[in-house]
Amino acid sequence: METVLVVGATGNIGTSAVTAALNSKRQVLAVVRNQKSGEKLLKNLGTSEGVTLVEADVVSDTGIRGVVEQVRAGKLPAFQHVFTCVGADYIPVALQDITTAQLRDNMSRGFESNFFAYRDTIGYLLEQGKPATYTICTGAQGDLGLFPLPAMTQGPLFSMAAAASRENAETNVRFNEIYLAMRVEVDEDAKQHGVTTASEFAAVYEAIMSRSEIRSSRVRVSTDADIKDLKYERKF
Ligand SMILES: NC(=O)c1ccc[n+]([C@@H]2O[C@H](COP(=O)([O-])OP(=O)(O)OC[C@H]3O[C@@H](n4cnc5c(N)ncnc54)[C@H](OP(=O)(O)O)[C@@H]3O)[C@@H](O)[C@H]2O)c1
């Protein structure tokens, strides 16, 4: 059985990615910051079956490397797919009011952690030489700029996704970016707020994993219809 490594697994999008993996009869290696976050994920999923939790500091430049070392040592399940969606603050602060500490913290969580995840897992996926996928979730805030802090973390993610799409155009790893332009939340919160549930959104990642023609692409999700009928185009 295949395994999906999910970085940012306990959030709205991460919970959706875990759901997609389980729906498609795959196991999950979920990176969590602590036991409490792990419990939140399992509660939102309503099951722990097929999910291995591993604690790591995703903000540190050695956190994910340590997870991969444990996989190589046979202490954690081998994985064939990676999904990353570590997120930072989703709050409206005007540019002139953003403190240096806030900026650095948001770039660290919103960008660097996702970069470290890519840098420190892609070699492992390439070495396997078998069909694999790497998927990252970015957001339309990066173009809209309505919430400057989360918007600015998306800019470098877009660039990283372009570079990774090029670098893996011909490899065994299908790299794709999900560009999300609608609100998705874990099911209980989504129902309260009238937005799309993590369970509904899971269909997007399920489709990306199963459709080998989708590679080096941006998959644009703006409406519920886009979840059922994927809109994607090559990054270059
Ligand atoms: N949700 C949406 O509708 C939406 C829309 C467009 C784009 N996106 C993209 O998806 C990303 C994730 O969004 P989301 O709604 O899933 O965010 P979220 O619910 O806030 O989840 C963020 C994830 O990052 C982890 N994280 C944050 N800071 C951390 C830290 N210092 N150490 C360890 N883990 C940390 C969280 O862990 P904990 O659970 O332990 O806090 C959680 O797993 C966004 O940044 C954006 O790029 C989301």
- pLDDT, tens digit, 9 for 90 and up, residues 186-200: 999 999 999 999 999
Q: What's the average model confidence in pLDDT over 27-49?
A: 98
Q: What is the pLDDT of residues 120-160, one digit of tens each?
A: 999 999 999 999 999 999 999 999 999 999 999 999 999 99
Mean pLDDT of 201-209: 98
Taking all residues of the chain, what is their mean pLDDT, rounded to a whole number?
98
Average pLDDT, stretch 166-195? 98
CATH 1.20.58.1030 fits 3-234, yes or no: no
Query: What whole-number distance in Å separates Cα of residue 13 and Cα of residue 182?
Result: 12
pLDDT tens-digit profile of 60-116? 999 999 999 999 999 999 999 999 999 999 999 999 999 999 999 999 999 999 999
Q: How many angstroms does the Cα of residue 201 sit away from the middle of ligand 1?
A: 15
pTM of the model: 0.98
Q: Which of 12, 45, 105, 224 has most ligand 1 atoms within 8 Å of its beta carbon, as the pocket-test mutant?
A: 12
**Do the Cβ atoms of 72 and 128 come closer than 8 Å?**
no
Query: What are the residue ranges spanned by the domains of the chain?
Result: 3-234
Q: What is the DSSP letter of 115?
A: H
Mean pLDDT for the stretch of residues 22-28: 98
Distances in whole angstroms, Cα of residue 73 to Cα of each of 37, 67, 163, 198, 206:
25, 10, 30, 33, 29
* Residue 204: CA count within 13 A, CB half-sphere: 33
Residue located nearest, by CA, to atom 24 of ligand 1: 86
**pLDDT for residue 49:** 98
Task: Concatenate the DSSP letters of all residues of 63-85 into one string.
Answer: HHHHHHHHHHTTSS---SEEEE-
Contacts of 112 (CB under 8 A, 6+ apart): 59, 61
pLDDT for 236 equals 86
The helix/strand count (H/E) of the chain reads as: 10, 10
What percentage of the chain has pLDDT greater than the value 90?
100
- Residue 111: per-residue pLDDT: 98
